[in-house]
Amino acid sequence: MPKLTATLDSIQAALTVAEKQATELLADVSSLQVNWQPNEGHSWSICQCLDHLAKVNVLYAAALQRAVATSPERYRRPTTAVVPGFFGRMFVRQLEPPVRTKLRAPAKAIPASNGNEGELLTGFLKSHEPLRAVLEAAKSIDVNQLRFKNPFIGVLRFTVGTGLMVINAHDRRHLLQAEQVKKASGYPVA
């Protein structure tokens, strides 16, 4: 498996790209369109994709913030490249589109069945704010060594750097899914 790397700057840039993508995705969509589910209601709507992302981002950000805020002195040295370990790379790759494996959403991240397009966008954009705070604080942390407790699988510990890469990959996964809703057969015209 080839190395998968990033920098804190590229992670931040990916957050900005995701925000732009979400903004464009929700431009000029009706409430009917944002809540419509393809595959006769068996697949997620645009609403569900964005609500799920916001919920996951908030929970991940809180776990990352705790780790960074309480990091022992031995982790207080900056790193330039973010390089996940073997299992971290596997997890990030599993989340990246194109989707090869469908994963079940954890109970804490089950999306709302309906939503308002403006509130969805606001919620998604706000979910990135604490991640930006983590990125700022992480500039003086060895993100390849400091670990955090995964908010969904308590026994799983990733590095802070891997956690940030997970957020980016997860955003890309579900934003692509939401874009595909617009292309699905039966998507409402207005």
H/E segment holding residue 71: none
pLDDT at 3: 58
Residues in CB range of 80: below 8 A, 6 or more apart:
7
Does the pLDDT value for residue 2 go beyond 60?
A: no
Round the average pLDDT of the chain to a whole number and report it.
94
How many angstroms from the chain centroid is the CA of residue 131?
Answer: 10
| Contact between 29 and 115 (Cβ < 8 Å) | no
* Residue 63 in tokens: 């776990």
pTM: 0.95
Domains located in the chain, CATH noted: 6-183 (1.20.120.450)
Residue 154, pLDDT score:
82
Q: Would the pLDDT of 175 be above 70?
A: yes
Q: Model confidence over 21-60: pLDDT tens digits?
A: 999 999 999 999 999 999 999 999 999 999 999 999 999 9
Tens digit of each residue's pLDDT (9 = 90 or more) over 58-107: 999 999 999 999 999 999 999 889 999 999 999 999 999 988 888 899 99
